[in-house]
Amino acid sequence: MKEKIRKAILPAGGLGTRFLPATKASPKEMLPIVDKPMIQYAIEEARACGINEFIIITGKYKRAIEDHFDSAYELEESLKKTGKKTLLEEISRLNNLNFAYIRQKAALGLGHAIYCARPFVKDEPFAVLLSDDIIDPETPLLRNMINLFKKLDSPILALEKVPMSEISRYGVIEGVSDGEENLFRINKLVEKPPPAIAPSDMAIIGRYILTPDIFDILEGIGPGKGGEIQLTDALFGLLKKRQIYGYLFTGQRYDAGDKLGYLKATVDIALKRPQISEPFKNYIIELADRIKLNI
């Protein structure tokens, strides 16, 4: 019987330079999308798949993440006394989850961040979620990947086709269809290749199901692109020992680590919130009309 995915790693130790000056002393992962920080969307996505143990890799100035997922007794009591039941349920419904925090002493790359979690993961398979990749909450990407892992007992990487003009921002795979819809057997991985030598237009995005043998590979590799320990390089090393699969995602993903992607995520998610969707939609229509008049 395949092991259940019980643990998720969320790397959150990066410097957030694309959002400076907002992230000078505040975590990028705590930037709100409507009324929740972006990292909470990833936590809720994983929880919906039965994951209840979370290892968050943090860094300097990231204490707000720990505070956010801690219980807030005074606030909860205040909401209880004032009868604000809905808000109370909203801020306390993640209280039953288990969190561990590891400080990454320097931003040495995604591979290094994942390696930091080795003492907590031990010999179990695990999920990795990059919280600035916001997946439409109605899309079961992670659940589908976990189901594939149960069937294949192999690492699963989320893939998305991206324009070749953007391919150098991603790890990229070369693979062949496995016969099952959107499933590929990976035979090569390249970190951030220029378009001229990219093996395909299928980029690795921020959802992974990994096996603990990746830690031995991470321990032995040196710095790659940008002088960082690259997870893509470690996965290429692991590929020499076992099969790795890619699952092509065709739903909606927002790169909320980018200002434009962040704004798109905010607008689209706001339009799905019953409390504000109609007045917000009306505002967008009015704004579009004003823009047309100015043109």
pLDDT tens digits for range 50-106: 999 999 999 888 889 999 998 888 888 898 889 888 888 888 888 888 999 999 888
Angle of helix 73-81 relative to helix 85-92, nearest 10 degrees? 160
Q: What pLDDT score does 1 carry?
A: 41
Give the burial string for 125-149 (b: 16+ CB within 10 Å, else e): bbbbbbbbbbbbeeebbbebbbebb
The DSSP bridge partners found for residue 177 are 184
Least confident stretch, 99-113, 153-167, 262-276:
99-113
Using the predicted structure, report yes or no on whether residue 128 has a pLDDT greater than 70.
yes
Three-class secondary structure of residue 112 per DSSP:
helix
Using the predicted structure, report yes or no on whether residue 113 has a pLDDT greater than 90.
yes
* Domains of the chain, start order: 7-257 (3.90.550.10), 258-295 (no CATH)
Handedness of CA 206, 211, 215, 220 (dihedral sign): negative
Select the more confidently predicted residue: 227 or 129. 129
CA neighbours within 13 Å on the CB side: how many for 68? 20
Sequence-ordered list of residues with C-beta below 8 angstroms from that of 169, at least 6 positions apart, any chain: 192, 203
Handedness of CA 25, 166, 158, 200 (dihedral sign): negative
pLDDT tens digits for range 224-257: 777 888 999 999 999 999 999 999 999 999 999 8
